[in-house]
Chain A
Amino acid sequence: EAQVTQNPRYLITVTGKKLTVTCSQNMNHEYMSWYRQDPGLGLRQIYYSMNVEVTDKGDVPEGYKVSRKEKRNFPLILESPSPNQTSLYFCASSHDGGTEFYGYTFGSGTRLTVV
């Protein structure tokens, strides 16, 4: 089944303790993105990647890091989490269709709480 898999689904952590949220897709997609969803603010892009070793900042990158060493994986790293990073996080992927857009497939989300 074609899918984007995020782990963990739920995570409670303490301020300052480094964590990684994993994201993997099995569709051989070039594009991958991370979004966070907050009440009243909607979904905002954190980082994106257009292919292996190509990453760039989205709208809200502060406090996050990413890497794209393999095409299928795009982990989100919080080096020193703070309570304002409590949010629902989504990973998404899409095929690079050139002038055609194939739409994004989203993972099931990771609910992160930083205390």
Chain B
Amino acid sequence: KQEVTQIPAALSVPEGENLVLNCSFTDSAIYNLQWFRQDPGKGLTSLLLIQSSQREQTSGRLNASLDKSSGRSTLYIAASQPGDSATYLCAVYIGTASKLTFGTGTRLQVTL
């Protein structure tokens, strides 16, 4: 059974810092990985999608990498801002049951 772990569970950083969020999964036979952002009580906003043939994706200040052989993905946020405060979720797709398996998230707070 695929298990997805995100470390740390919570993180507080001052504005302007660069930071890395980690996601690890137990079964390396994944197809794809998707990073989401969730604001308190709100829905999930897709940030980055890494296809099976890719090793990384970039969008603005965000960069996500995927290493299937080691079962890891990282989300790099450059020059963090208070508006980045949210919970970040990674999810892996293994191509069956049209299912994403989610990690429990990293709650990020960026302080002034």
A and B interact physically: yes
- Chain A residues within 8 Å of B, Cβ to Cβ: 31, 33, 40-43, 45, 48-50, 56, 58, 88, 90, 92, 94, 99-109, 111
Q: Identify the 4 closest CB pairs spanning chains A and B, nearest first.
A: A108-B43, A103-B49, A101-B32, A106-B44
B98 near A50: Cβ-Cβ < 8 Å: yes
Q: Can you list 14 A-B contacts (CB < 8 A)?
A: A42-B102, A42-B104, A45-B100, A56-B97, A94-B98, A100-B51, A101-B31, A103-B46, A103-B49, A104-B34, A104-B91, A106-B43, A108-B43, A109-B43
Told that A101-B51, A104-B100 touch, could you supply 10 new A-B pairs with CB distance under 8 A?
A41-B104, A42-B103, A45-B99, A48-B97, A48-B98, A49-B98, A88-B41, A94-B98, A103-B32, A106-B43
A43 near B89: Cβ-Cβ < 8 Å: yes
Chain A, Cβ-Cβ closest to B104: A42
A85 to B93, CA, bound (A): 26
A48 to B45, CA, bound (A): 20
A43 near B97: Cβ-Cβ < 8 Å: no
A90 near B89: Cβ-Cβ < 8 Å: no
B51 near A48: Cβ-Cβ < 8 Å: no
Measured between beta carbons, the chain B residues less than 8 angstroms from A106 are 36, 43-46
A105 to B98, CA, bound (A): 13
Classify chain B: how many residues form its interface, as a range.
Answer: 20 to 34
A31 near B98: Cβ-Cβ < 8 Å: yes
B51 near A109: Cβ-Cβ < 8 Å: no
CB distance from B52 to the nearest CB of A (A): 7
Measured between beta carbons, the chain A residues less than 8 angstroms from B32 are 101, 103
Measured between beta carbons, the chain A residues less than 8 angstroms from B45 are 106
A33 to B93, CA, bound (A): 13
B102 near A103: Cβ-Cβ < 8 Å: no
A45 to B104, CA, bound (A): 14
Measured between beta carbons, the chain A residues less than 8 angstroms from B95 are 101
Measured between beta carbons, the chain B residues less than 8 angstroms from A90 are 43-44
A111 to B100, CA, bound (A): 21
B46 near A105: Cβ-Cβ < 8 Å: yes
